[in-house]
Chains A and B, each alone.
Chain A
Amino acid sequence: MLSSLSPQVQQRIAVVVPVIALALSLFVVYPGWNRWRELVAEADQKRVRLANLRGTPIPLAATQQPAAEDTPAEPPKFLADIQTIAADSGCAVVGFDLTLPPAPVSGEEEMAQGGNKKPDEPKAPELVKPVRAKIEVEADYPHIRQFVHQIIAAPRLYAIASLEVKDANRRIPELLAATVEIERYVLNPDAPPPAPGP
Chain B
Amino acid sequence: MSPDTRGASLGLYLCPDVLIAVFARGGRGAPQIAAVGTTPTPKGSMDGSSVRDPARVGQALKTLLKSMRSRATSASVCLPPTSTGMRAFRMPDAPERERRPLVRGELETSGALPLGGGAFGHLWVKAPSEEEREESDVFAFYSDDAGVDAVREALRVANLKLDSIEPYSIAAIRAFMLSRETPEPVALLCPSDSHTDLCIHDGRQVRYLRRIAGGWEEMRYASRQQAFTSDEAAPVAAQPLGVDDALDEAAAAQAGVLGGIHDDHDSSNRAFLTAEVARSFAFYSREYKDADVPRSLVVLSPAQYAEDIARTIEPAMPIPVVCGDTAAKLELPEPTGGELGQLGFLAAAGAALGDVGSLLPRVDASRQEAAALSRRHAPDVLLFGMAGSSVWMIASVVAAVALSLLQSSAEVSNNLLKRDIEVEWARRAGPLRNEEVFNAARGAQTKVATAAPAVLAAVAQAHDGALAISSVKVDPGSKVAIEGTAVTPESMQAFAASLSQTHAVNNPSFDMMHQDNGGLYSFRIVGTCGHLTPEGALREGGG
Q: Is the CB of A194 within 8 A of B534?
A: no
B494 within 8 A of partner (CB): no
Q: Give, as a whole number of angstroms, the nearest-CB distance from B410 to chain A.
A: 4
B497 within 8 A of partner (CB): no
Q: Is the CB of A162 within 8 A of B392?
A: no
Q: Is the CB of A21 within 8 A of B457?
A: no
Q: Which 3 A-B pairs have the closest CB atoms?
A: A159-B449, A39-B410, A66-B441
Q: Interface SS of chain B: helix, strand, loop or mixed?
A: helix
B417-437 near A? 1/0 per residue, CB < 8 Å: 110111011111101111111
Q: Is the CB of A40 within 8 A of B410?
A: yes
Residues of B within 8 A of A18 (CB): 385, 389, 392-393
Interface segment, one of B72-80, B345-353, B357-365, B400-408:
B400-408
Residues of A within 8 A of B156 (CB): 6
Residues of B within 8 A of A40 (CB): 410
Give the size category of B's interface with A: 35 or more
Residue of B nearest to A187 (CB): B437
Q: Is the CB of A54 within 8 A of B424?
A: yes
Q: A3-B378, A36-B407, A166-B470 are in contact. Are A160 and B434 (CB under 8 A)?
A: no
Q: Is the CB of B418 within 8 A of A46?
A: yes
A100-153, CB < 8 A from B: 103, 106-108, 111, 126-128, 130, 141-142, 144-145, 148-149, 152
Q: Is the CB of A194 within 8 A of B433?
A: yes
A81 within 8 A of partner (CB): no
Q: A18-B392, A53-B424, A163-B474 are in contact. Are A24 and B397 (CB under 8 A)?
A: yes
Q: Give, as a whole number of angstroms, the nearest-CB distance from A176 to chain B.
A: 9
- CA A183 to CA B534, docked complex, whole Å: 12
A152: contacting residue among B382, B390, B407, B535, CB under 8 A? B535
Q: Give, as a whole number of angstroms, the nearest-CB distance from B55 to chain A.
A: 9
B468-506, CB < 8 A from A: 470-477
B197 within 8 A of partner (CB): no
A43: contacting residue among B377, B413, B428, B472, CB under 8 A? B413
Q: Is the CB of A197 within 8 A of B422?
A: yes
Q: Give, as a whole number of angstroms, the nearest-CB distance from A109 to chain B.
A: 9
Residues of B within 8 A of A180 (CB): 452
Residues of A within 8 A of B448 (CB): 103, 106-107, 130, 159, 161, 183
Residue of B nearest to A109 (CB): B447
B339 within 8 A of partner (CB): no
B353-409, CB < 8 A from A: 376-378, 382-383, 385-387, 389-390, 392-393, 396-397, 399-400, 403-404, 406-407
B488-543, CB < 8 A from A: 534-535
Q: Is the CB of A167 within 8 A of B470?
A: yes
- CA A58 to CA B389, docked complex, whole Å: 60
B444 within 8 A of partner (CB): yes
Q: A24-B393, A106-B444, A145-B456 are in contact. Are A164 and B473 (CB under 8 A)?
A: yes
Q: How many A residues have CB within 8 A of the partner chain? A: 74
Residues of A within 8 A of B397 (CB): 24
B453 within 8 A of partner (CB): yes
Residue of A nearest to B390 (CB): A17
Write 11 A-B pairs (CB below 8 A) sorted by A numbering: A7-B378, A24-B393, A40-B410, A42-B410, A42-B414, A60-B431, A142-B460, A148-B452, A161-B476, A162-B476, A197-B425
B440 within 8 A of partner (CB): yes
Q: Give, as a whole number of angstroms, the nearest-CB distance from A136 to chain B.
A: 14
A155-197, CB < 8 A from B: 157-167, 180-181, 183, 185, 187, 194-195, 197
- CA A185 to CA B440, docked complex, whole Å: 10
Q: Is the CB of A56 within 8 A of B428?
A: yes
Q: Is the CB of A29 within 8 A of B447?
A: no
A84 within 8 A of partner (CB): no
- CA A178 to CA B460, docked complex, whole Å: 15
Q: Is the CB of A163 within 8 A of B440?
A: no
- CA A18 to CA B386, docked complex, whole Å: 8
Q: Give, as a whole number of angstroms, the nearest-CB distance from B292 to chain A.
A: 48
- CA A56 to CA B435, docked complex, whole Å: 14
B221 within 8 A of partner (CB): no
Residue of A nearest to B441 (CB): A66
B248 within 8 A of partner (CB): no
Residues of A within 8 A of B428 (CB): 53, 56, 58-59
Q: Is the CB of B437 within 8 A of A128?
A: yes
Known A10-B378, A14-B382, A56-B428; further 7 A-B contacts with Cβ < 8 A: A6-B156, A13-B390, A28-B396, A29-B403, A106-B447, A197-B429, A198-B422
A73 within 8 A of partner (CB): no
B316-344, CB < 8 A from A: none
- CA A157 to CA B446, docked complex, whole Å: 11
Residues of A within 8 A of B424 (CB): 50, 53-54
Q: Is the CB of A165 within 8 A of B472?
A: yes
Residues of B within 8 A of A162 (CB): 450, 473-476
- CA A145 to CA B414, docked complex, whole Å: 60
Q: Is the CB of B421 within 8 A of A198?
A: yes
Q: Give, as a whole number of angstroms, the nearest-CB distance from A29 to chain B.
A: 5
Q: Give, as a whole number of angstroms, the nearest-CB distance from B414 to chain A.
A: 5
Q: Is the CB of A66 within 8 A of B471?
A: no
- CA A52 to CA B400, docked complex, whole Å: 35
B153 within 8 A of partner (CB): yes
B442 within 8 A of partner (CB): yes
